[in-house]
Amino acid sequence: MPKDTVPIVLKGVMPTTNGCAVFLGNEEKTFIIYVDHFVGNAIQMTLAGIKKERPLTHDLIGSILLGLGARLDHIVINDANNGTFFARIILQMENELGRKIVELDARPSDSIVLALQHKRDIYVSRAVFDEMEDRTDVLERVLRQQAEESGEEEEST
């Protein structure tokens, strides 16, 4: 685990009026990152294992990494400023010259899609994690609502 980071997982993705709410966290805390509809859909499609007829942007990035012999190691959500989050994608490359680690600046939303597609770890810096308000109650409420709506739909069929 990278120094001064907290391992987190994706806990849920919920559509909102202006995009999607991405719930991230661990047993201790859940926080929310808001993303646009396109990336929210990409996250949901990845979670559902939906194969696209043609590669989308995140698929293309994965193909480029593969072609270059690079491997996504992990991502880190490393900063937050007034509700805007920042992330780093950590790549590893190995060739006849040796091993190289490359860090790239990226949007957390894109980083999350890539981490999910490549089944890699997601981390958040300890400073960002400690700063975020715990929104576990919001996630639980939304999941309860979805379960109730799903139950109502089953009863009406």
User: Which pLDDT score, from 0 to 100, does residue 14 have?
Assistant: 92
Measured CA to CA, the distance from residue 113 to residue 72 in angstroms comes to 12
Tokens linked to 153: 């739909």
User: Which pLDDT score, from 0 to 100, does residue 157 have?
Assistant: 54
Measured CA to CA, the distance from residue 134 to residue 7 in angstroms comes to 16
**Is 100 exposed, middle or buried, given 0-12, 13-18 or 19+ CB atoms closer than 10 A?**
exposed
User: Which pLDDT score, from 0 to 100, does residue 155 have?
Assistant: 64
Over the chain (157 residues), what is each successive 10-residue block's mean pLDDT?
A: 91 93 97 95 91 85 90 97 95 88 95 96 97 94 85 64
Q: What is the pTM of this model?
A: 0.88
CA distances from 63 to 23, 107, 117, 148 (A): 27, 19, 11, 40
Give the number of domains in the chain.
Answer: 1
CATH number of the domain residue 16 falls in: 3.10.690.10
- Domain residues for 25? 5-156
